[in-house]
Amino acid sequence: MINNKMEIYYDVDDGVFKHIHEDIAEPSVPPKDEGPTNKMIMDYIMEQFGLLLHDMMEQFGRIYNRVGRLMWTPILEKIKSQLAAWRDMYLSQEGKITLVNFALSSLSIFFFSFFKAPVNIWREVEKIQQSFLWGGSDSRRAIHWSDLGVPSLMVANPHLGMQDFYAHLVGQVSCQAWIRQGDPKDVILNEVKRLRPDLLVVGSRGLGPFQKYVLGLGMVTPLGCGVDKTWNQLIDGKCGIRALRLEDLKMNSFDSETQLTTFDQLTSKVAAVVPTGTNKGEFNEELWLNSKEHRSMTRFVAYALCAAEEALRDSNWFPTEQEHKERTGVSIGGGIGSVSDMLDSAQLICEKRLRRLSPFFVPRILINMASGHVSMKYGFQGPNHAAVTACATGSHSIGDAMRMIQFGDADVMVTGGTESSIDALSIAGFCRSRALTTKYNSLPQEASRPFDSGRDGIGEGSGVLVLEELEHAKNRGAKIYAEIRGYGMSGDAYHITQPPSDGRGAILAMTRALRQVF
């Protein structure tokens, strides 16, 4: 007899079990029939179970696709209705991208995370976005770096959910990949091209630094008016801090006795005051404000006008075409505005002379009037913005202006900070909070120590920059001082005035700024 070896396997072509008999040898003694082994029985059972499970999942998939389409249809209608309301608005390309991202992020993350959208749903979302962003005229969907946050445009496998693709992309573009393969933008670009060759990626917005350059400088400081004047004074070792005088308190509505009493009670009597007068390098308010403007503008606005004029002249940017004016914005912030106006106006109420209150009281004290008056003087109709974040105001204003250029809201931004806080109430308030120096009342020239652990004091002035997008600057042949590569913000979440001793807030801000550089 012939000894047979039996192998059982599942043939996927016709779905039947087959027995294969293979001749092994010609034994001299007939073999004993032992029947099927335990392994053969278990293999048979598992294969039958797998076949049943496969059929069940196939039926479930068909049902899920039908239910999925019903579930996703109202969601797509919601996206369409949201975008339809915005389609006729005048928006920059970056503004449209922001709205698309908003529309998608407003959907329930539950659906994106746990329910895989069918292929036709992803394709429909792509068509909706293409129609909103580019009018549906271009078969190739050009996207900016910021579009990497829109997974439906970038997903390599349309059946995957949002978190699936995001996790895949993050895994591909890890810090280790950056180090191994160079610039992170190039790594992402190559990955995008590999996953979706039908996509055209343009620009460098969203990830990595967008090119924003400083082209103009303007300053009003306690060392004098103008960048050159201030710089030369610094080089010569001059100090802008001096002893306060009675007229510095700006108590115009009070009698002389009250003014003297207030001055005597101030514990700090030194400050960094902008020099005023008609000499070269001194601030002459008459040059910036006429008699009518004197009524509606206060000193911190005049400082901003002076610094902005110098910065614009330095950058040679005085546009006459309407299109250029609409693409130029202003972002000049301040700290506390005109406190002296508040003090004088409050005194009128105390004296029951309310009718003498100036109709310009409110516009004189508003921080945003610095940006407002600069824009009105030159006809700038781009973004008009004013940050109010105490000592960080100037930096925030510049960072915000940088991002307005980055997101395409403007090509040019006039930005910086301004302050005129040398008055009785401001100085008294800072004295009470122990923020002003009391050690150098007799030696004001030695009071400047900005990097000392015991630094204190108060000053005023204005600093303004002109920021511009690189290609815009190149096209008009403008000179360039520097490039802004990164901008980071943080909150100490620690104390109303005192920073934490470990400097964690500053470290966070610097780290976030550096992420935009490397």
Among 140, 168, 201, the domain-final residue is 201
β-partners of residue 465 are 217, 415
In a 3-state reduction of DSSP, which class is residue 199? coil
Tokens of 497: 């005035």
Is residue 430 pLDDT above 60, yes or no? yes
Burial degree of 142 (CB within 10 A; 0-12, 13-18, 19+): middle
What length does the chain have?
Answer: 518
Residues 463 and 402 in one domain: yes
Among 201, 225, 255, the domain-final residue is 201
pLDDT confidence band for 159 (50 / 70 / 90): very low
Residues 256 and 171 in one domain: no
pLDDT at 52: 66
Instruction: Tell me the per-residue pLDDT of 319-373, one tens digit each, with 9 for 90 and over.
Output: 999 999 999 999 999 998 888 888 888 888 888 888 888 889 899 999 999 999 9
| Among the listed residues 47, 40, 41, 45, the one whose alpha carbon sits nearest the alpha carbon of residue 15 | 47
Task: Establish if 10 belongs to a structural domain.
Answer: no
DSSP 8-state class, residue 370: H
What backbone phi and psi angles, to 5 degrees, belong to 258?
-65, -40
Residues 299 and 338 in one domain: yes
Tokens of 214: 């400083």
pLDDT at 57: 64
User: Which residues lie closer than 8 Å to 428 by C-beta, 6 or more apart?
Assistant: 262, 265, 266
| Among the listed residues 333, 315, 318, the one whose alpha carbon sits nearest the alpha carbon of residue 227 | 315
pTM, full prediction: 0.62
Instruction: Tell me the per-residue pLDDT of 271-299, one tens digit each, with 9 for 90 and over.
Output: 999 999 888 889 998 888 888 888 889 99
pLDDT confidence band for 213 (50 / 70 / 90): confident
Dist CA 78 CA 243 (whole Å)? 65
Task: Establish if 156 belongs to a structural domain.
Answer: yes
Residues 444 and 298 in one domain: yes
Dist CA 243 CA 238 (whole Å)? 15
Task: Establish if 182 belongs to a structural domain.
Answer: yes
pLDDT at 68: 61
Residues 284 and 196 in one domain: no
Tokens of 189: 């670009």
Among 174, 201, 228, the domain-final residue is 201
Lowest mean pLDDT among 53-67, 140-154, 326-340, 440-454: 140-154
Residues 167 and 279 in one domain: no
Is residue 452 pLDDT above 70, yes or no? yes
Burial degree of 9 (CB within 10 A; 0-12, 13-18, 19+): exposed
Overall domain count for the chain:
2
Task: Establish if 367 belongs to a structural domain.
Answer: yes
Residues 139 and 217 in one domain: no
DSSP 8-state class, residue 283: B
Task: Establish if 60 belongs to a structural domain.
Answer: no
Task: Establish if 101 belongs to a structural domain.
Answer: yes
Residues 96 and 221 in one domain: no
pLDDT at 107: 54
Residues 265 and 197 in one domain: no
Dist CA 37 CA 20 (whole Å)? 16
Give the CATH number, domain containing residue 364.
Answer: 3.40.47.10
Residues 433 and 476 in one domain: yes
Is residue 183 pLDDT above 90, yes or no? no
Task: Establish if 48 belongs to a structural domain.
Answer: no
Residues 150 and 254 in one domain: no
Dist CA 5 CA 17 (whole Å)? 16
Residues 311 and 426 in one domain: yes
Mean pLDDT over all residues of the chain?
76
Task: Establish if 409 belongs to a structural domain.
Answer: yes
CA 359, 365, 367 angle in degrees (round to 5)? 135
Hey, how many other C-beta atoms are within 10 angstroms of the C-beta on 169? 18
What is the average pLDDT across 420-432?
92
Dist CA 185 CA 203 (whole Å)? 11
Is residue 219 pLDDT above 90, yes or no? yes
Task: Show the domain range for 82.
Answer: 76-201
